[in-house]
Structure 1
Amino acid sequence: MKIAIIGAGAIGGYVGAKLALAGEEVTFIVRGANLEAISARGIKLIDHDGTEHVAPNVKATGDYAAAGVQELVILALKAHQVDAVADQIGHLVGPDTVVVTMQNGIPFWYFHQHGGTHEGYVVKSVDPTGLLASKIAPHHILGCVVYPAAELIAPGVIQHVEGERFPLGELDGSISERARQISAVFQHAGLKAPVLENIRAEIWLKLWGNVCFNPISALSHSTLVDICQYPLARELAAAMMEEAQAVAAKLGISFRVTLERRIEGAEKVGKHKTSMLQDVEAGRGPEIDALVGSVVELGRLTGTPTPHIDSAYALVKMLERTMHEEHGGVRMQRLVAA
Structure 2
Amino acid sequence: MRIVIMGSGGVGAYVGARLQATGEDVAFIARGAHLKALQTEGLRLEHPQHPLHLPQVQVSADAAELARRGPADLVVFAVKLGDTESAASALGPVLGPQTRILTLQNGIDSVELIQAHVGTTAVRGGVIYVSAVIDRPGVIRSPGGLHVIVADAAGGDPTMAVFFAACGRATALQAKPTDDIRSVLWEKFIALSSLSATTSLLRAPMGAILGHPETRALQRQLIEEAVAVAGAAGVPQRAGLVDEVMAKLANMPASFRSSMSEDLARGKALELQWLSGRVHALGQQLGVPTPAHSTAWRALLLYSDGSTGF
TM norm structure 2? 0.90
Matched, 1:71 2:73: yes
Distance between the aligned counterparts of 1:306 and 1:80, measured in 2? 24
* Residue aligning to 1:240: 222
Matched, 1:219 2:221: no
Which SS does the other structure have where 2:227 is aligned? Answer: helix
Matched, 1:266 2:265: no
What is the identity, as a one-letter code, of the residue corresponding to 2:53? V
Flag the 1:148–1:322 CA change in 2: closer, same or farther, 3 A: closer
The number of aligned residues is 303
Give the C-alpha shift of residue 304 in structure 1: 2.4
Matched, 1:102 2:104: yes
Distance between the aligned counterparts of 1:321 and 1:195, measured in 2? 35
Flag the 1:59–1:200 CA change in 2: closer, same or farther, 3 A: same
* Residue aligning to 2:56: 57
Distance between the aligned counterparts of 1:2 and 1:230, measured in 2? 47
Distance between the aligned counterparts of 2:187 and 2:119, measured in 1? 25
Of the three residues 158, 165, 172, the one matched with 1:177 is: 158
Which SS does the other structure have where 2:249 is aligned? Answer: helix
What are the ranges of 5 or more consecutive residues in structure 2 without an aligned counterpart? none
Distance between the aligned counterparts of 1:297 and 1:175, measured in 2? 35
Distance between the aligned counterparts of 1:134 and 1:259, measured in 2? 34
* Residue aligning to 2:175: 193
Distance between the aligned counterparts of 1:300 and 1:181, measured in 2? 42
1:155-174 correspondence runs (5 A):
155-161=137-143, 162-170=145-153, 174=155
What is the identity, as a one-letter code, of the residue corresponding to 1:83? E
Mapped contact 1:169–1:175 kept (Cα < 8 A): no
Which SS does the other structure have where 1:286 is aligned? Answer: coil
What is the identity, as a one-letter code, of the residue corresponding to 2:40? A
Of the three residues 286, 294, 303, the one matched with 1:310 is: 294
TM norm structure 1? 0.83
Mapped contact 1:167–1:194 kept (Cα < 8 A): yes
Distance between the aligned counterparts of 1:20 and 1:91, measured in 2? 22
Mapped contact 2:267–2:306 kept (Cα < 8 A): no
Give the C-alpha shift of residue 264 in structure 1: 2.1
Mapped contact 1:25–1:58 kept (Cα < 8 A): no
What is the identity, as a one-letter code, of the residue corresponding to 2:34? N
Mapped contact 1:22–1:188 kept (Cα < 8 A): yes
CA deviations 1:76-103 (Å, max 9, x no partner) are: 1111122232321122211110101011
What are the ranges of 5 or more consecutive residues in structure 1 without an aligned counterpart? 111-126, 327-338
Give the C-alpha shift of residue 256 in structure 1: 6.5
Structure 1 segments of 4 or more deviating over 6 A?
none
Mapped contact 1:175–1:195 kept (Cα < 8 A): no
* Residue aligning to 1:22: 22
Identity %: 27
* Residue aligning to 2:132: 150
Matched, 1:32 2:13: no
